[in-house]
Amino acid sequence: MKYVNKLREKIAKGQLNFGTHCSCTDLSFYELCGQLDYDYVWIDAEHGAMSNPMIINAILATNAGGNAAIVRVVDHSVGNIKPVLENGPDGIIFPLVNTAEDARKCIEVCKYPPEGIRGYGPRRSQWYGGMSDAEYFKQANDSIMLLMQCERKEAVDNLDEILAVPGVDGVICGLNDLSASIGKFGQVNDPEMIDLMEQMIAKCKKAGKPFGASIGVNYDVARFWMERGASFLSIGFPQDYYMTLGKEVIQNIRTIENERMV
């Protein structure tokens, strides 16, 4: 909520918003991302088994570090999305949006009438009452970035219709699930997979909508998306970074120890 305009400003300038994924219970990880100069943190409630209090605290810690907090929700249901909305995330990522109807349902849950069906009950999103109702309602429907995940071939096929749904702010490609949907899990360099990604990018550009990808630590894949003008790139989890640095430290210490024992 507080940092979404920073994301939009970079998009308008054709710049990349760079983030990382996190579903840790230790809030210092979220705040630490601000020290590392990320633009946002992808708070992963879908795969991270995060409770609502954990999600809320992750939003607070991410913003405290100076980053936008974007929450990937569990699913498209009102019950799972509403508590997240009330606590002022900068964006929401909806998993497995395969059709325009899926996208419409996601959007209407996040918008107050007449644009949607969101019920009134803000908490942090209205600064705990510090913002007047009139001021809050004036900006509420546009204050959160709403991003659809493209994770199936069906979604790529239907993407023109998905992008035409009012309120859709952009699309994020989930490479692993997209490759799995064509029976080629993890084969991101397969020609069929590359064709699907190129189709997605072309459709987003045609519609004038920002796009991006969620990936592991893979610089070749990162370059693919950056060279094509991605607005979002989410790379890795804390576990990835711990594993990478951990291996390096262990290898170097073992080398020193072996040299000492010669």
Domain that holds residue 208: 4-261
Contact 4, 30 (CB under 8 A): no
Joined together, the tokens standing for residue 170 give 């952009």
Q: What is the pLDDT of residue 2?
A: 74
Q: What is the pLDDT of residue 1?
A: 63
CB atoms within 10 A of CB 214: 23
**Planar angle of CA 241, 247, 252, nearest 5 degrees:** 130
Which CATH number goes with the domain that contains 207?
Answer: 3.20.20.60
- How many structural domains comprise the chain? 1
Q: What is the pLDDT of residue 115?
A: 93
Identify the sign of the CA torsion 202, 216, 50, 40: negative
Q: Which amino acid is at 114?
A: P
Q: What is the pLDDT of residue 126?
A: 85
Q: What is the pLDDT along the chain (262 residues), one digit of tens a residue?
A: 679 999 999 999 999 999 999 999 899 999 999 889 899 999 999 998 899 999 999 999 999 999 999 999 999 999 999 999 999 999 999 999 999 999 999 999 999 999 999 999 888 888 888 888 888 887 888 889 999 999 999 999 999 999 999 999 999 999 999 999 999 999 999 999 999 999 999 999 999 999 999 999 999 999 999 999 999 999 999 989 999 999 999 999 999 999 998 7
Q: What is the pLDDT of residue 122?
A: 86
Note the pTM of the prediction, 2 decimals: 0.93
Which residues are catalytic, by number? 47
Q: What is the pLDDT of residue 138?
A: 79
Q: What is the pLDDT of residue 97?
A: 99
